[in-house]
Structure 1
């Protein structure tokens, strides 16, 4: 019987090895690379990586391996990154310490060997320190990869915790110009549709320096080669067929099946995969089997000292048992005195084979061993692993304090997703622990602005836990979970007589509801304010009033809201809440801009932004830079907005704030659209979608893409994006900054499709809602589209009767809008000129004023549209030369932008007015069928065939009614017909109006 089961010959994988070698070559050339190696369990990912690492090391690269551990699901963050850094520290020693000089205390959260960690940050700044941890990790790797090529391997990414994924994603995006190659492995068969790794992989696929390798199963010929290597000779044909059929080409199963032979042939095995996986274990000596079972419950990697403490064996007995397990390829020895299963499937099978009581007993022994000697595991893992062991030991009184301690550590390391998981486990355990024991727990919320209470009531202790969960959920981007926790807390607080705590939770719920796009949050804020009535000022008062001021800046701007923001600033100063004060100043600045005090408002907001950067106040940064760039854009200062966006993007990447990155990129897309840099605006939208986490952020991307599609005349795409936006906004009464652009795009689509009555109804609904108009930047473009729709209504029988009332409604609404800044003034003039055009009384002077208003505002799309209208008015007044010049400029601008509707309208106007456009004359109709008709007579014939009167023909072609009558008479004579009806019939029959018809649209 052959006991060697690992083939000495590496079979196949030529294309995959070539891809890894190419990635190494690129890394050697200082182009950082990432390779994602996927495949089902047992397909050979580890073997491929091991072979490659040997090649890389032979080529002079420094290699390090770290693995995600299954305990990560219980909240152990950054485990593989810490493991890699330990290897590098062991190999490089002082060189690594020198590379980390100046920030070793912060990196010690990942590598304790660098010394004691820096002083813990206060709760309000958790996110910023986490972002700095990411930045410093990337900086350390860049420094280490300057002198030599680093090849880092992260195994089993399917077990990774969220914090590890976010840190790796940050490194992959920002590390540049160094010799770094990161290879990760993951089980593709474990990545179900809702697995958290799936969106992470999708995001990485968009990065230029990331490539993905998917390992298929072995072919029959490759299985033959593998068996030959294992058996030392080619297999019999029936043995090959039996092994190939049972293994289905899985390399690990091929090895397992080859290990059991009878007379040179594969022996009979159970159909159960578990039994197959346990065969090798059951062949071990009894003591070795016992050690393997102990190791299985310890996790995917267990230290030698911990195994000895739990197994209860002498050192010699344990070594002999481990030697047998390693030689049988059940376990593998690590360089750091740890042991892990050669394949995770085997560990799972062994663990599943344990009896329930046996499993909990082993977990208890692990926990007791760690309590007796914490040095048995790395210091940064002790708390989390102890919590996991006690939990699985089903000892609530021991597990609960351990889980709370692990949650505190996760928060200290800014691993909020893992902190939330641990806090949820603590909530699960809470009722299983007696009240006396709970009073001894270190439960006491450190959440910013949360009211501290010395009352020993047990329920209040649980509320502290729920407060931590609410904040952790928000920071982790789990808004739906945070909402659920806040509601649970409020149910507990009913009739308890703790209004400050209830107000705090209502304020949190308001924010979560808004972030989820499930409401405007005012009802929740109103309830919070009611609860605070009659109490002395406190941090909770400041928080709630600041939230109210922020709400007003979005939903109800105006003088009354300005007073709310001023009170919030004053109260925050009184109670000494710095972050709350800065947030209140942001709302104050926004509201000042809305009421026309632009320079004062910008000064307030710039003051906040200048404080945020050096003090790294991430919680404030999420509003300061985002709001500042948006308001600058709304005021028509798009270039300034882009400069703020550039700084904000750098900071958001540094802090690892995905949703904030989406808002910044989206605002950047707005500024680029205004400046006519539409290709760059498209790219910014794509970046915003990649980063978006919340439904609101995703909906805003759809809204911006709808705007671009409307401008380009891509009507199907515009409708699709509008529908997507509506599906992501789950409530009525959205803020003007969201609702008005949405209405604008729907109205533009309806108008372009000739559905004038639908367009009117869309605008009428905006008026009926009685929505505060908000800042002019969101509402003036809506009014412009409504006015354009009325211009299109001229000559539409179904729309003409209601036109005077529709125009009056638009004018009345326009009177309510602010006109504080040049771009708003320009839009006000544009709307009125378009309405006068719909009424048939717009003059060239009207449009000249609009053109002058937009001059110098660097808005080429608006410029193209108003110059087109000016050219039309000049042509109607007989100024053909000036009309041709303005029309040519409008056509040039629209073509450069890709604004197809404007381009086509300019070309139609040129054809109707017989104007030179871009240095070329419009084509004239020729051919024998013309019967002597001139190009102008063909134009008249087309309109005559469409049923137009002489007056309407004159208006369309910018000629006098008398001239139109002369043309009609000439046409009747040349066609030898008696009346207009016969002329129209003959024109259609002889197809004489094919050219002329193009001017009738």
Structure 2
């Protein structure tokens, strides 16, 4: 009677969960329509997460979906790097071998870090912080491509055991899914997620994503418990029995199963309410041999292969199989999906059995596992071997065997871009270090276990591994995986140990690392740390550490004190790197030098250097340098006003960053793209680029840059509340970095503009007063000119405000003095210099149309429609102050054009200013054709556009690519008049540029070939 019940502790009836199943099925339908879905399923241990996933995936499979299951594997207290993704990809490879091979084509070496069956990874490949992001991007795109034609469900279970790399990969995947018929769901044990559990911040982060649904499974109600018990017993249960089970289980599905079976078996063991006794009661009812096997499997990890179990159990094969049969028959153990091993049906039971082991018993079992695996490495999958061996030896409490195994596992983790696991294993190695005999340590070599080994004049192939070498490797691993606090603590501890040693190279190397970590954590600029390293290396021959140090000094100077000192530091860094053969350091230093060359006025030479560095970095496969080039090169183009050149490079850089870079690298490219699009008047596109930067950016600096751009866009559009909010956010993100000119000056400019827009002229003046003279040194012109312009404009707008009069003269003199120190080599800087000069005159009440005509002419050569519109507004204002009829006509034409541009951009403050000026001058902002020069044919498309005959001639020449000066020469008019005609044409055609006007003319067939020549001849 009891045998059937014993094998059916799991109810054949699926109880409850109707709402959750509906949500999952709805997600499956959406995915089938091409909209990828992501779901997180949480609940306490035993509440029924696995059963829900089983029911859903079984139905999805019946509907034609491909299901790939992956579980987080626990070995002792350690998760295997990427274990659930590796398992899921392996399942996909079995189900869709051709599709997966096609999707992985060309990227097998990288993806083999998750799925070794694809290809053996090449040894000796350099590892960097971009490597892990590159692996994440390839994995995400692989899943999208595999799910392009078939609906795919990827289910990852037991996320509470996930290693850090798995968590990071899942986070990246859920944040970047764009296409594909893909459902990604993950389960986790909610009651294990304590305040300091590493999964907790990930769940909080994913909760903010609108693309991720989160389901929390509640316990069963009494009615659901009754149905579950009825399914288990295959009979209607007694009401009193149901009440008792419901009360004691509190609705937990697993506890209901255990209590129902125990009660039906007539268990009289005095079952207590403690979880441990409840979980162990049925295990203790097994035969002794089955209990022994259960204890062995409990200590082996989440899953134990049969051959490994056979080697560790040391039982006759028949006895082992009989013991397993008893445990499986009692539903304590289950066979794995591939039929090659065994696992506990519920992890709570495994934990209870493992906790019940005696301390000596646990160490002995781990030793037997380690010895068996070491004797025959084929007992476990190849991608798990090194990690599991390290865990077994560690928990066997054998430091001499554990240390080399743990170090081997750290190398394996590094090769798989699992930097979080590498850091944990290195910390474990440091813990073991002093307990290992000296002769064992002396046999270890840095070349075998470290990659961040700082050059110290020793041969890493023959020199014994040192504790400091482990610290160096751990510090770099911590930086790569984002654990900068832990990395900084390790670095500080290493420097304390080095105080008693005469090792200047190693000490300097750690000071450089401390500088980088301090800077990235927002704890300072990092210059003091670099100075300490500089003192240590003074007088020593050139070496790689010195080359790296000089590069960091040059980079620091570029950001904080651009100018001759930074230029000299960059030149020395390039020289040292070449001298010692540090190629990657040389490329980094050349990139810094290229930026400084542009800022110093050697524009074409600097841009050529940046172009060359990018091409060489791509050719030599140094993605970290190439990523920096994709940020710096277009940024310099933008800085000198060549925004249109920057955009295609940034678009290419986006594709590269998605494949090879961490999220912050992609965010910087998005931010630079948004900046260039803002300059080009493509504000809606800039808004979308800003949103993309905000989605992927994580570091404080890139988030500060993102907030600065949003504040600038909001201010231009007249959303002052949003501009204020983003400005405060940017100031908070930059923190100690705010004093860097590239951060401080844009923030000061925005603060001045916001105060002026809100009618607070004295506050605007105070913001300028806080800018020190050093902020306007050579090399800062890109950010300083717009700041001085904002201050001068604020004074011009406030000249009618009595409260702002005191001190205005001194302030204007200060702005002029600062402007004299700034470079004007690039056309955009020349245009700003003229604009600032004209605004200062306006603030003094001296407005001359000729001054503003020069400013407008300077900006007509640049593709900055918003700046051009603002200066045309000022020119119109100056013309109206003269009062002549010709001046009024010119002003009217300018205002119409400015109004059209402002409306197109959504620049509400400029639109309102133009409207107000037009109303005051009694000018219509609607284009009027006026009397034509010659009678117009009503069937002529030019006539329907409202163009005069002279405007038709100008449009012909615009379509032929002629400049305003060339048009003036052909038509015997002044360049200014030609400019006004062009402006009026753009307004009437409702286009924003000369190219668009030419396109309209071509599309309408207005000018047949040869018309330009006839016009010139005429």
Q: TM-score, normalised by structure 1?
A: 0.85
Structure 1 residues 908 and 71: CA distance shift in structure 2, 3 A: farther
Structure 1 position 899 matched with structure 2 position 901: no
Aligned to 1:720: 725
Distance in 2 between the 1:914 and 1:597 partners? 49
Q: Is the 8 A contact 1:257 1:266 kept in 2?
A: no
- Is residue 406 of structure 1 aligned with residue 409 of structure 2? yes
Q: Deviations over 1:918-974 (max 9, x none)?
A: 479xxxxxxxxxxxxxxxxxxxxxxxxxxxxxxxxxxxxxxxxxxxxxxxxxxxxxx
- Map of 1:767 onto structure 2: 772
Q: Is 2:353 the partner of 1:350?
A: yes
Give the aligned partner of residue 416 of structure 1.
419
Matched, 1:915 2:917: no
CA deviations on 1:296-348 (whole Å, 9 max, x unpaired) are: 22222222222233333322222222222222222221033122222222222
Q: Which residue of 1 aligns with 2:373?
A: 370
| C-alpha contact 1:121 1:129 (8 A) present in aligned 2 | no
Aligned to 2:820: 815
Equivalent residue in structure 2 for 1:431, among 430, 434, 439: 434
Alignment partners' CA distance in 2, 1:546 and 1:519: 18
- Provide the secondary structure at the position in 2 that maps to 1:46: helix
Instruction: Determine the structure 1 residue equivalent to 2:570.
Output: 565
Shift of 1:645: 1.7
Contact map agreement 1:126 1:412 (CA 8 A) in 2:
no
Q: Residues 844 and 216 of structure 1: is their aligned pair in 2 closer, same or farther, counting only changes over 3 Å?
A: farther
CA contact (8 A) 2:600 2:779 kept: no
What residue in structure 2 maps to residue 979 of structure 1? Answer: none
Q: CA deviation at 1:423?
A: 0.9
1:590 positional shift: 0.2
| Residue 55 (1) aligns with residue 63 (2) | no
Unaligned runs of 5+ in 2: 929-1018
Residues 1:70 and 2:70 are matched in the alignment: no
1:104 CA drift (Å): 4.7
The 1:71/1:693 distance shift into structure 2, 3 A limit, reads farther
- The answer for the alignment partner of 1:944 in structure 2 is none
The equivalent residue for 2:165 is: 163
Within the alignment, does 1:787 sit opposite 2:789 as a pair? no
Aligned residue in 1 for 2:888:
880
8 Å Cα contact 1:72-1:161 kept in structure 2? no
Query: 1:734 and 1:842 mapped to 2: Cα distance?
Result: 36
Structure 2 residue 131 is the aligned partner of structure 1 residue 111: no
Q: Equivalent of 1:271, from 270, 273, 276?
A: 273
Tell me which residue corresponds to 2:24.
20
Structure 1 CA distance for aligned equivalents of residues 117 and 186 of structure 2: 25
Q: Name the structure 1 match of 2:225.
A: 223
Work out which of the residue numbers 256, 263, 287 in structure 2 matches 1:285.
Answer: 287
Q: Deviations over 1:581-622 (max 9, x none)?
A: 111111111011101111111111111112223433122123
Tell me whether 294-303 or 272-281 shows the greater mean CA deviation.
272-281
Task: Report the counterpart of residue 247 of structure 1 in structure 2.
Answer: 249
- What is aligned with 1:755? 760
Deviations along 1:337-376, whole A, 9 cap, x unmatched?
Answer: 1222222222223333333333333323322322232222
1:613 aligns with 618
Tell me whether 31-40 or 892-901 shows the greater mean CA deviation. 31-40
The separation in 1 between residues aligned to 2:652 and 2:922, in whole angstroms, is 51
Report the counterpart of residue 649 of structure 1 in structure 2: 654
Alpha-carbon distance in 1 for matches of 2:549, 2:235: 78
The answer (yes or no) to whether the contact 1:260–1:267 under 8 Å persists in 2 is no
The answer to whether the Cα contact below 8 Å between 1:243 and 1:266 also exists between their aligned partners in 2 is no
Could you tell me which residue of structure 2 aligns to residue 300 of structure 1?
A: 302
TM-fit CA distance, 1:805? 0.8
Alignment of 1:612-761 (within 5 A): 612-731=617-736, 734-761=739-766
Match of 2:9 among 5, 10, 18: 5
> Could you say what secondary structure the match of 1:798 adopts?
helix
- State the match for 2:829 in structure 1: 824
Distance 1:827 1:147, change over 3 A: closer
SS at match of 2:806: helix
Residue 593 in 1 paired to residue 598 in 2?
A: yes
Residue in 2 that maps onto 1:978: none
Between the aligned partners of 2:702 and 2:335, the Cα distance in structure 1 is: 47
SS of aligned partner of 1:36: strand
CA distance in 1, matches of 2:76, 2:57: 25
Residues 43, 252 of structure 1: 8 Å contact kept: yes
Contact between 1:223 and 1:240, CA under 8 Å: does it hold in 2? yes
The alpha carbon displacement at 1:476 in A equals 1.2
> Are residue 44 (structure 1) and residue 52 (structure 2) matched?
no
Instruction: Give the length in aligned residue pairs.
Output: 918
TM-superposed deviation, 1:70? 2.3
The Cα offsets for residues 29-63 of structure 1, whole Å up to 9 and x where unpaired, read as 56554443333332222112212222233334443
- 2:239 is aligned to 237
Match of 1:493 in 2: 498
Give the match for residue 963 of structure 2. Answer: none
Match of 2:468 in 1: 463
1:841 is paired with a residue whose SS is coil
CA shift for structure 1 position 27: 4.6
Aligned partner of 1:153 in structure 2 is 155
Deviation at 1:419, TM superposition (A): 0.7
Mapped contact 1:520–1:734 kept (Cα < 8 A): no
Aligned to 1:324: 326
CA contact (8 A) 1:672 1:681 kept: yes
Deviation at 1:864, TM superposition (A): 3.2
Call closer, same or farther: CA 1:334–1:203 in 2, change over 3 Å.
same
Q: CA deviation at 1:73?
A: 6.4
Residues 791, 355 of structure 1: alpha-carbon distance in 2 compared, 3 angstrom cutoff? farther
2:261 to 255, 259, 262: 259
Conservation of the 8 A alpha-carbon contact between 2:367 and 2:393: yes
Q: CA deviation at 1:166?
A: 4.0
Cα separation, partners in 2 of 1:248 and 1:649, compared to 1, 3 Å: farther
For residue 530 of structure 2, the aligned residue among 519, 525, 533 is: 525
Tell me the distance in 2 between the aligned counterparts of 1:334 and 1:642: 53
- Distance in 2 of aligned mates of 1:718 and 1:809: 27
Deviating more after overlay: 207-216 vs 614-623: 207-216
DSSP 3-state at the match of 1:65: strand
Paired with 1:504 and 1:490, the residues of 2 have a C-alpha distance of 10
Q: SS at 1:243's partner residue?
A: helix
Cα offsets for 1:866-922 (capped at 9, x unmatched): 2332222222222433333333333333333233332333333334334334479xx
Structure 1 vs Structure 2 CA RMSD:
3.2
Where 2:916 maps in the other structure, the secondary structure is: helix
CA 1:819–1:190: 2 relative to 1, 3 Å? farther
- In 2, the alpha carbon distance for the partners of 1:102 and 1:456 equals 34
Distance apart, 1:740 and its partner CA: 0.6
Aligned to 1:443: 446
1:194-222 CA-partner distances (Å, limit 9, x unpaired): 65445555666777875544433334433
Q: CA deviation at 1:439?
A: 1.5
Mapped contact 1:128–1:616 kept (Cα < 8 A)? no
**3-state SS of the aligned residue for 1:37?**
strand
CA contact (8 A) 2:15 2:228 kept: yes
